[in-house]
Structure 1
């Protein structure tokens, strides 16, 4: 009888399992689309948006038993306006849509829509939701991507919208300068004199080099042979290229002298010689990069040069969205060309851990993968549209030890230091969840001590918080002794990797930004530490305790502690109000701080100057001028965030490091600035100037999911960054007469844009396989019944169509105004025939009819 009961029970369980299994409906037959219905919904600063689910299959989609998950950086009102679903935040940027009893089934060929409200307006296409996927209630561990997902075009009418007419008027100040009159070297040298005549490079030249520059000589020969299309034979012409040691020059200084018979590059260090080689390369026209040439003319010139700032950096976020090793090498290559010397790699964050740490394999086994999970026990959840599985290479990936060493060696050959960033104590969800998994594995193996050794949170901590990116479990508990075991372990492995690669590791960046209010307050570990340590009176004191201990760990290894601005601040009261001041505790430790927060109108415009005046070695990473990931301007077709500024290449070029208030002209919304916001703000003192060690351009990668988008966001802005980091202060930066300063600026701006359009970008279209740099949209205006067009970069080709199709490389070239009949589309093309965004215009009288 007992056996029969058991058998009947098993049959019942199996039957229930079958009934509860996911429906045999093919999610791939669904077509999803997203659109904006009303960008001023109910006359509020919110948007009504819609997801449409179309059934392209032969089966009926059930009305319930499923959820849709998606990612978004925005907040939503929970109850759908359509009344058929609820939109709820899961954690971070992950949301769910759950149908209710009003949802209807979707028969073949039919569709349903879910209308919901976003608590902000939509500005550009990267505001759309990302990566929607389905999960059946009966199979909650598995996610299914739909057949496709599209974002429908939207024509917004918000204030500050940049139109083709506005672009035309902006471009009008750009003078067309003949290529022969353009400076041949960028960034601008300290002293530049172009002379008559040329040195002709052929494979018969001889290379003479001081032994100090053996590696640079090999680098030079490899590059020049590619341009010539043949190996160097040497000797037959008597013409020489000489690499000369000159101990009288500074560490990164060089001289370059070109005569018809020889080229001499002199420097005191290999780095200086390398920069001289880069100037030699940029002095050559773009032609050899397009196709090898047997003889290459180099204009005769005399150049003396050295950098303005010793620290010239690019920060690359590979944690939010991953970039391949090959793409990182491409960036390093071009950084070397424009004399940048530091690659700050943001390797870890809430959404990913991207470097192999052999001593803690869970960091990549768990932290480098994103897919559908609600507990993050085996991997991280979908973020930034990475979807339900590991196939998305932007969401899942990491650098093996060998990969990272290859990056280090490649960078070191180009005199670029790679600064690793390990985010702590906030932005640390990937590491926290990885160490949770390690804890569970070792506890299951009976190793309690090992399990607890690198734990990053107290399981009994009931603190309630939300980070800026909406995570509620992303902050390391700095009260735990195991936190410092973890840091010791990570630092030890990094030191080993750098040592084996033969790469310098002068500093490690430990983040420190955006730790939310409420953390640690209910942590038993914090309460125990507070009871035993008189220096800990509140959770604010944990900040100094934590970074003091991290600093001690690094000092033992002669490594400098680097971090974001919050690391160097102390919370205090002024007239009873909470404020931050430079923390005197760490001033003598030569810490390096990257300062991003100077959002115009938010009250911290002078923070970088406060810290520099207070004694901290400060790197300007200002969001107003140096963030690559900010959208170029307010337009639907321009990707990127815009919470800090709209930021085109002009913001990089116009940046004045010692007085960035001076050229501030618009606020974070792109509206004319009220200069009263600078009243009472600290100016940079002469002492403070000595603490500004350099500039850094930052690419945060939430919206950057491919190498093409990475190129688009960084280039050619990087050249503007290089100009400001290397070249001396231009005259317009210090001129007190505002009218004269503007005239000087406009002249320099025209020269710079002509150099880009006629020299640099034609080369970058082909150099190193070619870069997907941003090609600007043409400006267009209607005058006398005709459309006139211009472009930001003189030298680019504008093409147009009048048949409604998008212009391509075979469309007519714009040479004179076009009759304003119907819809006309204009598009700019680079030297390789690659096109940019389309400017579409129509005679307003036509639309009125």
Structure 2
């Protein structure tokens, strides 16, 4: 499911943008002299929310000629990315803006644009739908193209000025202070030292002295797990411990014990030995991960000669068998090294499914032998005329090909390496091939293949994998504003393509020796109007009595996909739509669970638990579908942590801080919806009263939890890790650990007290153990450091932090705090501007919080 859905739906009424291009002239000689670059800079600034009393925003785009010659009145176009609702306020404005496709727009001078002299500026007011809560709604990726050479784009300097006042109800330091006020500081020696919280845990007070001389003695079945543990210990001691199959004396022992579950383990640490018992390799592996979590973060900071491992007795197994993270590399690409780093992180926290979102409208990211255009065209973005060689830019990826995260793909060898790495860490990789919608990259790639082979006179070969009806006159627009992103499901060549991709993927899994039981075929957000004027669709409907309406094509398509997968001993996974039927009652469209596919073992990732679909995950589980709870309300990691302009992330589905994943109640999640989409406390739960609850007998159909990280706004590894952590740790806790006692009746006074205690313990574990560990683990992670909460009371500034163990530092002279600034230990009496920042143990700091103490 694409997270831009509701953000863009809100803009549908603002699509009436002027589309009449003005006559262009060749650029002047002065412009030609400047054509090696873009002699213009742009500044964008929000001016007014609720402009004219409507749900729209007034902003200003200021042009400045930064060249030495005048910017001509004609002969150029500026391309950029943003909502298609951006348009000049004045109908006589000197510019016009036209949508191209998706988030890709172009800005052109009108007859009212006058030559702009060197150093001069031009101010143009724009109106756009909705509010500009944070920078994710700002226009971005501006570049200029001269009419003289339309094949080349030049990046334009772009500055965004933050609104100077709170216009949209941003989160305040006082809000944060209030949310943190119930958190208690828990002494480190009282914290559970295995994370996620194990089913049974007891400390004995009898530590084990671990050194490089201590061997790992493992049953033959656990040699791979033993070797991985030894490799990890090598990073601590600078020497890899010996791995043996037998031996007496002090050792780490991995031994078989029958009768435990497939992922269960027992861990005992005594002064004489460390013993991990399991009936299978997965359990043994999770025992080694718990052993690693027993080690203090300081053990990873520098080479050690000896580490004291706390004496514990642990009996543990996961609550859910499907504990998933979904990684979107289609919208913006992450390199192989980052994927391997993510797998290490997942392994540490016992997540066992990587849902790999490998293609979408904006990119195809895996090499498929025999179909080179998929990566040559579909895996690259840049300024393009006709998209014959690569895709158009998206999400501000810029004009230059291969110069941004808009381009990139995994070779077959890369993917096999990723699969092996995941296999060794007991992580199943579920590849996602988005169909039939969100398929623009594949469609454009196969168009390029078709054109190449037709030029070679190979018509039959050219048509073999074509994904669209060349004579289709259907008109549609997806919620991401694409008008050409849906495969034609009546074409036999579409199934040729999907079989080819499936078989090549299976060959890679076989080469890697990695398990595969399903392929995720997407299935979401196919817009109205698709296929309605396709001749091949009409031909299919004429000869197939089961396809009577356009809606029936949905069941036709996924029925054929299901048959294809069953022939390969796989089951079908998809977003919730693959298991839904359209029902029209009195002209009103609704979706209900499709009974025809229940018996086919479809697994559905259900994200939509908002509005009329609040109970959709439970309705589908009650109907018999295997459901992975992927609730947008709690687990969409790409949503901003909080409502603040400087806080990156989308917000169409609300806001997700680390607490939402922690307090999620899988079997009764409506009781864990505490705030609305605007992050304000719910004042009424009346909307829940008529919703379907999960039936006890359907609990077995909730197979697991998943947190997706969509990447529209994630262009660097640093931003990726910021959005990922620490939010992912809430999912890890809830997916692995037993159902907490406070979840059975969360509104009771007893449960509220138990929750407050559990929440305090959780954030203390994160702040004092896990995040300090992640400063070093797998090369270190750029996790988010929370901003300080602050409030003025009785003439003094009080401050607090969400994660105990982190340090608040402050200044009273208006300067930004540094690692040498005063440490906050109590109320600040000084008057004036107080600036506070939170520092982690490695010295990284949060954004600055400013409070006026008058």
Name the TM-score, length of structure 2 as normaliser: 0.94
The 3-state SS of whatever aligns with 1:702 is: coil
Q: 1:387 aligns with which of 398, 404, 413?
A: 398
| Deviations, residues 180-223 of structure 1 (Å, cap 9, x unaligned) | 10000111111001111211101222322110001111111111
The 3-state SS of whatever aligns with 1:297 is: strand
Q: Is the 8 A contact 2:839 2:846 kept in 1?
A: yes
Question: 1:609-688 alignment to 2 at 5 Å?
Answer: 609-673=618-682, 674-688=684-698
Q: 1:86 aligns with which of 96, 107, 113?
A: 96
Give the C-alpha shift of residue 279 in structure 1: 0.5
d(CA) in 2 for partners of 1:51, 1:21: 24
Q: 2:41 aligns with which of 31, 34, 44?
A: 31
Change (3 A) 1:233 1:552: closer
Matched, 1:765 2:775: yes
Change (3 A) 1:419 1:21: farther
The 3-state SS of whatever aligns with 1:221 is: helix
| Deviations, residues 417-436 of structure 1 (Å, cap 9, x unaligned) | 11110100000000001011
Change (3 A) 1:671 1:169: closer
Q: Which residue of structure 1 lines up, in the alignment, with residue 333 of structure 2? A: 322
Aligned length: 826
Matched, 1:183 2:192: yes
The 3-state SS of whatever aligns with 1:118 is: strand
d(CA) in 1 for partners of 2:526, 2:88: 26
d(CA) in 2 for partners of 1:297, 1:362: 55
Matched, 1:431 2:445: no
| Deviations, residues 1-53 of structure 1 (Å, cap 9, x unaligned) | xxxxxxxxxxxxxxx99989972225344322221111221222211112222
Give the C-alpha shift of residue 374 in structure 1: 4.7
d(CA) in 2 for partners of 1:279, 1:91: 49
Q: 1:295 aligns with which of 302, 306, 310?
A: 306
Q: 2:269 aligns with which of 253, 258, 264?
A: 258
The 3-state SS of whatever aligns with 2:445 is: helix
Q: Is the 8 A contact 1:79 1:85 kept in 2?
A: no
Matched, 1:539 2:550: yes
Give the C-alpha shift of residue 780 in structure 1: 0.7
Question: 1:65-76 alignment to 2 at 5 Å?
Answer: 65-73=75-83, 75-76=85-86
Greater displacement, 455-464 / 33-42: 33-42
Q: Is the 8 A contact 2:517 2:571 kept in 1?
A: yes
Question: 1:796-835 alignment to 2 at 5 Å?
Answer: 796-835=806-845
Q: Which residue of structure 1 lines up, in the alignment, with residue 22 of structure 2? A: none
d(CA) in 2 for partners of 1:28, 1:576: 52
Q: Is the 8 A contact 1:82 1:114 kept in 2?
A: no
Matched, 1:606 2:612: no
Q: Is the 8 A contact 2:84 2:99 kept in 1?
A: no
Q: Is the 8 A contact 1:596 1:623 kept in 2?
A: yes
d(CA) in 2 for partners of 1:560, 1:308: 23
Q: 1:563 aligns with which of 574, 579, 584?
A: 574
Matched, 1:360 2:371: yes
d(CA) in 1 for partners of 2:31, 2:442: 33
Q: Is the 8 A contact 2:333 2:409 kept in 1?
A: yes
Give the C-alpha shift of residue 156 in structure 1: 4.7
Question: 1:222-233 alignment to 2 at 5 Å?
Answer: 222-232=231-241
Give the C-alpha shift of residue 812 in structure 1: 2.4
d(CA) in 2 for partners of 1:73, 1:502: 44
Q: Is the 8 A contact 1:80 1:86 kept in 2?
A: no
Q: Is the 8 A contact 2:218 2:243 kept in 1?
A: no
The 3-state SS of whatever aligns with 1:694 is: strand
Q: Which residue of structure 2 lines up, in the alignment, with residue 105 of structure 1? A: 115
Matched, 1:693 2:703: yes
Give the C-alpha shift of residue 119 in structure 1: 0.8
Q: Is the 8 A contact 1:92 1:470 kept in 2?
A: yes
Q: Is the 8 A contact 1:30 1:55 kept in 2?
A: yes
| Deviations, residues 579-622 of structure 1 (Å, cap 9, x unaligned) | 211111111111111000012xx210010001111111110000
Question: 1:428-577 alignment to 2 at 5 Å?
Answer: 428-574=439-585, 577=588
d(CA) in 1 for partners of 2:84, 2:749: 42
Change (3 A) 1:233 1:516: closer
Q: Which residue of structure 1 lines up, in the alignment, with residue 359 of structure 2? A: 348
Q: Which residue of structure 1 lines up, in the alignment, with residue 350 of structure 2? A: 339
Q: 2:73 aligns with which of 63, 66, 75?
A: 63
d(CA) in 2 for partners of 1:233, 1:253: 25
Q: Which residue of structure 2 lines up, in the alignment, with residue 40 of structure 1? A: 50
d(CA) in 1 for partners of 2:516, 2:574: 15
Q: Is the 8 A contact 2:27 2:72 kept in 1?
A: no
Name the TM-score, length of structure 1 as normaliser: 0.95
The 3-state SS of whatever aligns with 1:469 is: coil
d(CA) in 1 for partners of 2:717, 2:647: 17
Give the C-alpha shift of residue 392 in structure 1: 3.0
d(CA) in 2 for partners of 1:77, 1:231: 62
Change (3 A) 1:374 1:607: farther
Q: Is the 8 A contact 2:796 2:828 kept in 1?
A: yes
Q: Which residue of structure 2 lines up, in the alignment, with residue 120 of structure 1? A: 130
d(CA) in 1 for partners of 2:314, 2:491: 57
| Deviations, residues 535-574 of structure 1 (Å, cap 9, x unaligned) | 1111100000000101111111111111000000011245
Q: Is the 8 A contact 1:200 1:295 kept in 2?
A: yes
Q: Is the 8 A contact 1:766 1:832 kept in 2?
A: no
Greater displacement, 500-509 / 51-60: 51-60
Matched, 1:592 2:579: no
Q: Is the 8 A contact 1:205 1:237 kept in 2?
A: no
Q: 2:282 aligns with which of 271, 296, 308?
A: 271
Give the C-alpha shift of residue 768 in structure 1: 1.4
Question: 1:297-312 alignment to 2 at 5 Å?
Answer: 297-312=308-323
The 3-state SS of whatever aligns with 2:660 is: helix
d(CA) in 2 for partners of 1:80, 1:297: 71
Q: 1:215 aligns with which of 224, 245, 248?
A: 224
Q: Is the 8 A contact 1:603 1:677 kept in 2?
A: no
Question: For structure 2, which runs of at least 5 residues remain unmatched after alignment?
Answer: 1-24
Q: Is the 8 A contact 1:349 1:427 kept in 2?
A: yes
Give the C-alpha shift of residue 481 in structure 1: 0.8
Give the C-alpha shift of residue 697 in structure 1: 0.2
Q: Is the 8 A contact 2:27 2:74 kept in 1?
A: no
Give the C-alpha shift of residue 664 in structure 1: 0.8
The 3-state SS of whatever aligns with 2:612 is: coil
d(CA) in 1 for partners of 2:83, 2:638: 14
Change (3 A) 1:340 1:36: same
| Deviations, residues 681-738 of structure 1 (Å, cap 9, x unaligned) | 1100112211000000000100111000000001111111000100111011102653
Q: 2:800 aligns with which of 790, 797, 801?
A: 790
Greater displacement, 437-446 / 50-59: 50-59
d(CA) in 2 for partners of 1:151, 1:449: 51
Q: Is the 8 A contact 1:242 1:262 kept in 2?
A: yes
Give the C-alpha shift of residue 671 in structure 1: 2.7
| Deviations, residues 328-364 of structure 1 (Å, cap 9, x unaligned) | 1111100000000010010000000000001211111
Change (3 A) 1:589 1:35: same
Q: Is the 8 A contact 2:746 2:752 kept in 1?
A: no
Greater displacement, 295-304 / 737-746: 737-746
| Deviations, residues 728-784 of structure 1 (Å, cap 9, x unaligned) | 110111026532222111110000000000011111011111100000000011122
Give the C-alpha shift of residue 111 in structure 1: 1.7
| Deviations, residues 93-123 of structure 1 (Å, cap 9, x unaligned) | 0011111122232222222222210111100
d(CA) in 1 for partners of 2:89, 2:790: 43
